[in-house]
Amino acid sequence: MSDLRLINRREFLKRTGQASGGLVLALSFTTACGPAGREPAGGGTVSVAPNVYVNVRNDGIVEIYCHRSEMGQGIRTCLPQVIADEMEADWDRIELIQALGDEKYGDQNTDGSTSIRNQFDLLRNAGATAREMLIAAAAASWDVPAGECVARKHQVHHEPSGRSAGYGELVDAATELEPPTEAAFKSRDDYRYIGKPMDTIDGLAFTTGKASYGIDTVLPDMLYASIERCPAFGGTVASLDDTAALAVPGVTAVFRLPDPTTPLLFNIQGGVAVVADNTWVAQKGREALQIEWDRGANGDHNSVTYREALQESVTAAGKPVLTRGDVNAAFEAADRVHEAVYYAPYLSQAPMEPPAAVARMTDDGGCEIWACTQNPQAAQDTVAQMLGLDKQQVRVNVTLLGGGFGRKSKPDFIAEAAWLARETQRPVKVTWTREDDIRHGYFHSVSAQFLKAGLDENGKATSLLHRTCFPSIGSTFDPNATGPGGFELDLGFLDNPYRFDSMQLETADAKAHLRIGWLRSVCNVFHAFAGCGFVDELAYLAGEDPKDHLLKLLGEPRMVDPSADGGQYTNYGHSLDKHPIDTGRISAVVEKVADMAGWGRVLPAGHGLGIAVHRSFLSTVGTVAQVSVDSSARIVVHEIWTAIDAGTTINPDRVTSQMEGAAIFGMSLALHGEITTREGGVVQGNYDTYPVVRMSEAPDAIHVHVMESTAPPGGVGEPGVPPVAPAIVNAYFAASGKRIRELPLRNAGLT
């Protein structure tokens, strides 16, 4: 049952157009799940946050508005699966409409694996409310109790009389009714689409080249811009000579963009824009610019010396954020103490489609945008503030995204297009080059991790100190931020599931010198690399099989609550009652993935298996990698096995594809991923210097198992990444006897 607020009858409108009319269900709800609201009520009911629109046309077509961004994860399929299932709509009579950026939809940021885990009940409620509205319309038309009617396969049936009516036939009657005050959810046993593998709605367009991305957008009378930016974050133009650039045929103008703000947020980061008749000419004009830069406060940032500073910081006493027992006393009493420092470099998201946006000023003084954005409302906010407009005057059309991984949640590239559109009073397309994207993005943070364990006479680890050090994402919003904090500590750090008698978690300061942002799985990447790698080290010190040792450390099934040891843990915005840190479920994933890989079997000489498990975004993923080391010391990843417990899943095919993609993404980070800096600027510029895994490096097979579960949905897009790198590194140790504690592996000459 759903506790709905009554809504204004004006929100029930008949649509006009080709279908001649329709019923718009504007669902207005109170917040649920997360910092802004409360958990669902009991008995399968929920109070929901966004206004999710379902429109039933009188030709029987059901229009479903997708308020999230499609970047290959399949949300434009999974979202309507949920709504259509609860609505009892025929899948072949669904039309999907990509929603504009609008606060009426609630949170539209397609990031953090939130689209299903935060909105499953909200989407179900949208479908259930539409279903009950149509049932009520049929009952009123037939003058029978609504309780005698049932919706099934795009029709409402009155079984006692044998009457039935299609959804389209009920539209006119439905518009005359008051909205329902409650709507029961279907039983899981009655699901037709939820939990079923279904082809993606956009699959044909993807494979035939008909899909349109941000970079494909073209408007009449459009100009094209290419922007030269200061190599160092925060730098500004000291002098500019644009004579040669303006002399390039086809170049129409050169603009010096506004200097970066403090804090930068998602605003323009400065630079010089060349505007021309096409992108090629704009780039040629850009090459002709003569610019001297003031590199500013970060002009001497060097990743080599910064690494040394991080390691010095992380090996000194830190700030405790979780304490269980007395680790110092435990270390003094230990038979042996083992220490390790892990290091992971800066990373770039490097999606296949670089940032691209088109903007034009409208006749009414507003601004309209087409962009490959993960967060259209952030684009509205940023553009409105920059241009001095009301948010409602900024219209954001969301295109398909050729990858995102967190980069396209930040609308700085959209702000550039909007600023230039205002200056030129013509539509302007800004296209970042690959080099722009890799050198001037929002980087995944570099990190040093210090771990120390006390072992008893039997080699069993009884105490743990884990210290994390990295420049914070918070520095993008607060330049005074000096290290880990807030939600970043939730990401694979405070939620340590292992049973140590004594444990202390600490943070160490680190100042940001680049724009720091989120990348797929965020801080879980380096926390899992260090945490899972160190657990593997402890297994060998104890003389135990790594899988068996891992299960021993997890201990008997129990619910872990970091707050019991003083940790300020928010559990990704959900209660631990609904989404517990359940070591029983984690252990089950370990057992499953080990079984999939044939753990314990005899391997060829030079081969090794490595295992890692990590909970993130309310899901648990276990990974086993099989690697070998050839005669030239090159590491070869032969196979990867992955098991995921994501609670209730909507489309198993999409979950499987996300795990397969995560394996390749995680391999890229482990084998190759590294951003370095010199004199404040990023050294890498394209896939030749920032490689991703090529087909020749890909495993022979990636095996995926989705655990059956009736638990609430967890995340899927991000959780597959963190255990990949430690599984590979642990497998390398099993194959070679050599322990690797830094990424990427190519720095050790292994690729």
Token pair recorded at residue 190: 């009655």
pLDDT at 633: 79
* Residue 658 amino acid letter: Q
Question: What's the pLDDT tens digit per position in 406-456?
Answer: 999 999 999 999 999 999 999 999 999 999 999 999 999 999 999 999 999
* Residue 746 amino acid letter: R
695: Cβ contacts below 8 Å, ≥ 6 apart:
none
**Of 161, 193, 225, which residue constitutes the final position of a domain?**
193
Name the nearest CA neighbour of 129 among 190, 51, 75, 210. Answer: 51
Answer whether residue 134 is part of any domain.
Answer: yes
Question: What's the pLDDT tens digit per position in 628-675?
Answer: 998 787 899 999 999 999 999 999 999 999 999 999 999 999 999 999
**Is the domain of 281 the same as that of 418?**
yes
**Is the domain of 168 the same as that of 275?**
no
State the DSSP code for 696: G
**Is the domain of 374 the same as that of 338?**
no
**Is the domain of 288 the same as that of 321?**
no
* Residue 689 amino acid letter: T
* pLDDT surpasses 90 at 249: yes
Share of the chain above pLDDT 70, in %: 93
Answer whether residue 4 is part of any domain.
Answer: no
Instruction: Average the pLDDT over 52-67 and give the result.
Output: 88
Answer whether residue 715 is part of any domain.
Answer: yes
Cα gap 663→405, rounded to integer Å: 14
Name the nearest CA neighbour of 565 among 337, 327, 332. Answer: 327
* pLDDT surpasses 50 at 516: yes
* pLDDT surpasses 80 at 35: no
Question: What's the pLDDT tens digit per position in 561-577?
Answer: 999 999 999 999 999 99
Whichever domain contains 121, its CATH number is 3.30.365.10
**Is the domain of 669 the same as that of 739?**
yes
Tally of structural domains, the chain = 3
**Is the domain of 398 the same as that of 486?**
no
**Is the domain of 414 the same as that of 538?**
no
**Is the domain of 482 the same as that of 388?**
no
Containing domain of residue 263, as a range? Answer: 214-296+355-431
Cα gap 614→317, rounded to integer Å: 27
Cα gap 73→83, rounded to integer Å: 18
Question: What's the pLDDT tens digit per position in 276-287?
Answer: 999 999 999 999
Q: CB-based burial of residue 587 (10 Å sphere; 0-12 exposed, 13-18 middle, 19+ buried)? A: buried
Answer whether residue 684 is part of any domain.
Answer: yes
**Is the domain of 388 the same as that of 342?**
no
Answer whether residue 184 is part of any domain.
Answer: yes
* pLDDT surpasses 80 at 470: yes
**Of 396, 431, 466, which residue constitutes the final position of a domain?**
431
**Of 365, 398, 431, which residue constitutes the final position of a domain?**
431
- Residue 182: pLDDT band with limits 50, 70, 90: confident
Question: What's the pLDDT tens digit per position in 345-391?
Answer: 999 999 999 999 999 999 999 999 999 999 999 999 999 999 999 99
pLDDT at 176: 83
Residue that wins the pLDDT comparison between 71 and 4 = 71
Answer whether residue 248 is part of any domain.
Answer: yes
Answer whether residue 33 is part of any domain.
Answer: yes
Cα gap 669→726, rounded to integer Å: 11
Q: Name residue 341's beta-bridge partners.
A: 450
State the DSSP code for 88: T
pLDDT at 52: 59
* Residue 82 amino acid letter: V
Angle ∠(460,462,466) on CA atoms, nearest 5: 115
pTM of the prediction?
0.93
Q: Name residue 641's beta-bridge partners.
A: 624, 703
**Is the domain of 336 the same as that of 374?**
no
**Is the domain of 104 the same as that of 22?**
yes
Q: Return the minimum-mean-pLDDT range out of 56-60, 111-115, 676-680.
A: 56-60
If you average pLDDT over every residue of the chain, what do you get?
Answer: 92
Token pair recorded at residue 378: 């952030």
Answer whether residue 201 is part of any domain.
Answer: no
Cα gap 78→271, rounded to integer Å: 40
**Is the domain of 375 the same as that of 450?**
no
CB 552 within 8 A of CB 371: no
